[in-house]
Amino acid sequence: MDPLDLSTYPLCSCFLSGYLSRRNDPSNFPADQFPAIFDKYEKLFGSTLQVLGRTKETLKSRSEFNFDSGDAANLEGGIAVLRVILALQLEVRLPPRLTQTVKTLLTVR
């Protein structure tokens, strides 16, 4: 599989295609982890979108989750935030009010 072929990973295509087209990043995308790494990211994006009740376009419109610049720090920070959201939701089952607060924070500019 061509590492840049994201056709079977629509969420990875949305969030990562710009990043991957700008740089070769073996630290975050080791060649020996294809295609499994895209499976993991696809699940991460999908689960987070579901928890937040957001569309991929809405989430990507936030600078924290638009990785098209090719900035590795932005990618790593954004992915970390997504993982924290999922960890909180899975481990403590965020109450609806806190879930709404997280959604609001992601909406405010």
Asked whether residue 2 is assigned to any structural domain, the reply reads no
Asked whether residue 3 is assigned to any structural domain, the reply reads no
Which one is predicted more confidently, 107 or 35? 35
Asked whether residue 74 is assigned to any structural domain, the reply reads yes
Return d(Cα 80, Cα 96) in angstroms, integer.
22
Mean pLDDT (whole number) for 20-45: 92
| Local confidence band at 108 (pLDDT 50, 70, 90 cut-offs) | very low
Return d(Cα 107, Cα 40) in angstroms, integer.
25
Q: Where are the alpha helices (DSSP H) in the chain?
A: 10-22, 36-52, 56-60, 72-92, 96-107
Return d(Cα 62, Cα 24) in angstroms, integer.
23
pTM: 0.82
Return d(Cα 85, Cα 94) in angstroms, integer.
9
Instruction: Say yes or no to pLDDT of 107 above 50.
Output: yes
Asked whether residue 4 is assigned to any structural domain, the reply reads no
Domain that holds residue 48: 10-107
Return d(Cα 64, Cα 43) in angstroms, integer.
19
Instruction: Tell whether omega for the bond before 96 is within 30 degrees of 0, i.e. cis.
Output: no
Q: How many domains, the chain?
A: 1
Give the model confidence (pLDDT) of 1-17 as tens digits.
Answer: 455 689 999 999 999 99
User: Which pLDDT score is estimated for 104?
Assistant: 65
Give the model confidence (pLDDT) of 74-89 as tens digits.
Answer: 999 999 999 988 887 7
